[in-house]
Amino acid sequence: MIRVGIIGCGRIGQVHGLSVEKNRACTLHAVYDPGEANARAMAQRFGANVAVSPEALFAETAIDLVVIASPTDAHEAQFLAAARAGKAVFGEKPIDNNLARAYATVQTLRGIGTPVMLGFNRRYDRDHATLQAEVRAGAIGRVQSMQLASRGPNSVPSPQYLRSSGGFYRDKCVHFLDLIRWISGEEPLEVVAMGSVLADVSVGEAGDVDTAAIVVRMQSGALAHIDNARRAAYGYDDRIEVFGTQGVIESQRLRSGNVMRIRDNHVCLDGLPRNSFERYADSYAAALDAFVEKLQGKAVEVPGIEDGLMAQVMAEAATLSAAQSRIVRISEVLAKL
Ligand SMILES: NC(=O)c1ccc[n+]([C@@H]2O[C@H](COP(=O)([O-])OP(=O)(O)OC[C@H]3O[C@@H](n4cnc5c(N)ncnc54)[C@H](O)[C@@H]3O)[C@@H](O)[C@H]2O)c1
């Protein structure tokens, strides 16, 4: 049995608590959150202990795996402390919003050598995974272009969240930057990005954009276009299309139900999930399951620290491109590390 400790009992911490509960090879041993009420509520919900500090949780010999679900500014120290304590680490993205610090953290983690997985849960969506496997198997021939759209939910994050998020490219687009490397199996060459504030003025007041387009040229010349919006009035809408020399493959938008009504001259289908937690509910559990299988010695590929770092390098290039209205080569960002 793998005993788990969760650091951070907010939105994503609760999601990971559910994933641990669903996995028969795991048990939730302890949780920590500086908000005592959060920690107590989560411990009660999942039948776990409350750790009095992160250090106490890391020092708990019964714990094998630490899930880091704290705010981004706590990640770096907690990734390192958990790894130094000999724990396997399932950490939420990003490693750190400052790329130089994230790189230094990755270098230290490489030296420690403990298993680390980054929470790029979209890789574990059933349909996205089918698309990736078929593209990699050559089912559509040579990849020419990829379109990844993600819009929603029907609200924007609080100004406080936006100010500490590192910006749209680092916070949300980073998931799709990771997906294009994973789908194509290729590294990126150059990035161009543009952003606008069109849906909610509060996003602009917090110094961020709510609508963005990113184009990435991969090493083969294949072009990936990412179309991301913080808000969509109609729900949570994610889609991927990959176009190749032999055909096209799509992971289509997932609706919240599959009921169709026809009346008079109109067809009415169920709409979309309300947010990413509903849209990707199964993928969070599947991500943890994959890491547990890896820890059990199975040959399972999971997004590790190098993937986390590369996605951040691409997000950095996109942030720079949008700020300076120019194409940014990945080598330029890597040269600064
Ligand atoms: N992979 C995904 O789909 C996904 C989705 C949402 C959030 N995230 C990431 O997860 C992290 C947390 O986001 P969230 O939306 O759950 O935030 P949240 O604000 O809902 O929850 C954060 C929790 O951490 C607690 N906390 C504060 N300081 C802490 C510390 N030093 N140590 C431990 N806990 C601390 C807070 O009290 C709060 O309960 C962020 O880094 C975010 O980027 C990932």
Q: Which domains does the chain have, with CATH numbers?
A: 2-114 (3.40.50.720), 123-275+305-335 (3.30.360.10)
Contact 67, 285 (CB under 8 A): no
How would you classify the pairing of strands 328-329 and 188-196?
A: antiparallel
Dist. CA 319–CA 210, nearest whole Å: 13
How would you classify the pairing of strands 49-50 and 65-68?
A: unpaired
* Closest residue CA from atom 3 of ligand 1: 121
Q: How confident is the model at residue 127 (pLDDT cuts 50, 70, 90)?
A: very high
Residue 253, pLDDT score: 96
Residue 60, pLDDT score: 97
Ligand 1 mean position, distance from CA 258 (Å) = 32
- Probe ligand 1: pick from 6, 7, 12, 228, max atoms within 8 Å of CB? 12
Residue 68 CB contacts under 8 Å (≥ 6 apart), including other chains:
7, 8, 74, 75, 78, 79, 82, 89, 90, 91, 92
Residue 228 CB contacts under 8 Å (≥ 6 apart), including other chains:
149, 150, 151, 168, 172, 173, 176, 211, 212, 213, 214
Element (H, E) at 27: strand 26-32
Q: How confident is the model at residue 254 (pLDDT cuts 50, 70, 90)?
A: very high
pTM of the model: 0.96
- Residue-wise burial string across 189-207, b where 16 or more C-beta atoms lie within 10 A, e elsewhere: bbbbbebebebbeebeebe
Across 293-303, average pLDDT? 96
Does any ligand 1 atom lie closer than 6 A to the CB of residue 92? yes
Q: Which of 265, 196, 277, 258 is nearest to 229 (CA)?
A: 196
Q: How confident is the model at residue 277 (pLDDT cuts 50, 70, 90)?
A: very high
Element (H, E) at 97: none
Ligand 1 atom at shortest distance from the alpha carbon of 7: 33
Does any ligand 1 atom lie closer than 6 A to the CB of residue 308? no
pLDDT tens profile 39-81? 999 999 999 999 999 999 999 999 999 999 999 999 999 999 9
Ligand 1 mean position, distance from CA 10 (Å) = 6
Residue 301, pLDDT score: 93
Does any ligand 1 atom lie closer than 6 A to the CB of residue 238? no
Ligand 1 atom at shortest distance from the alpha carbon of 121: 1
Scan for tokens 């290039």, then name that residue.
317
Burial class (CB in 10 A: 0-12, 13-18, 19+), 261: exposed
Ligand 1 mean position, distance from CA 12 (Å) = 6
Residue 335, pLDDT score: 97
Residue 243, pLDDT score: 98
Beta carbons within 10 angstroms of residue 213's beta carbon: 17
pLDDT tens profile 82-95? 999 999 999 999 99
Contact 3, 29 (CB under 8 A): yes
Ligand 1 atom at shortest distance from the alpha carbon of 12: 16
Across 199-204, average pLDDT? 97
Across 4-12, average pLDDT? 97
Mean of per-residue pLDDT scores for the chain:
97
Residue 85, pLDDT score: 98
How would you classify the pairing of strands 223-229 and 143-151?
A: parallel
Residue 329, pLDDT score: 98
Q: How confident is the model at residue 199 (pLDDT cuts 50, 70, 90)?
A: very high
Ligand 1 mean position, distance from CA 197 (Å) = 25
Does any ligand 1 atom lie closer than 6 A to the CB of residue 161? no
Dist. CA 308–CA 334, nearest whole Å: 14
Residue 206 CB contacts under 8 Å (≥ 6 apart), including other chains:
159, 162, 163
Residue 312, pLDDT score: 97
- Structure-block tokens of residue 58: 């890391």
Q: How confident is the model at residue 130 (pLDDT cuts 50, 70, 90)?
A: very high
Does any ligand 1 atom lie closer than 6 A to the CB of residue 19? no
Across 162-181, average pLDDT? 96
Beta carbons within 10 angstroms of residue 234's beta carbon: 11
Ligand 1 mean position, distance from CA 171 (Å) = 12
